[in-house]
Structure 1
Amino acid sequence: MSRIADLAASNALIGYILNTQSRLHDLETQVSTEKKSQTYSGIANESQHLINIENTNDLLAQYVR
């Protein structure tokens, strides 16, 4: 069994564990609620992409007329 010899390595390891725990919690929430994010800021990039597609679709529809 290996040991963590110094405080810096121990703190880094604890940070990695907490980060992983946080990501796991977020993913469990996504699965249980069937939502990608609990806030609008979590879906900002996807929302902007959808708005761009809708605008392009509107422009193409106007061109066809």
Structure 2
Amino acid sequence: MGGGMEMRKNHWIEEWATARENLEHHFRWTRRNLALAGIFGIAVPVLVYKGIYRQRFCQSSPFSYDDI
């Protein structure tokens, strides 16, 4: 009834999927990985927070927060 629908597997996609599934078994902390974790895990969030904080609280506004 529903036969004849087999597909040829793409070797490169299957290789990539296998590597992705086993990433936690083969991952190693290298200098590059530590640098990337530091940049995107610590530096970027801190810079985003500081930018939002400055934009929200350090700009002049028509009202004072002391009135609240």
- Whether TM exceeds 0.5 here: the answer is no
Please classify the TM superposition score into its range, dividing by the shorter chain length. 0.3 to 0.5
Between structures 1 and 2, the one with greater helix share: 1
Max radius of gyration: which structure? 2
**Higher RCO (C-alpha under 8 Å, 6+ residues apart):** 1
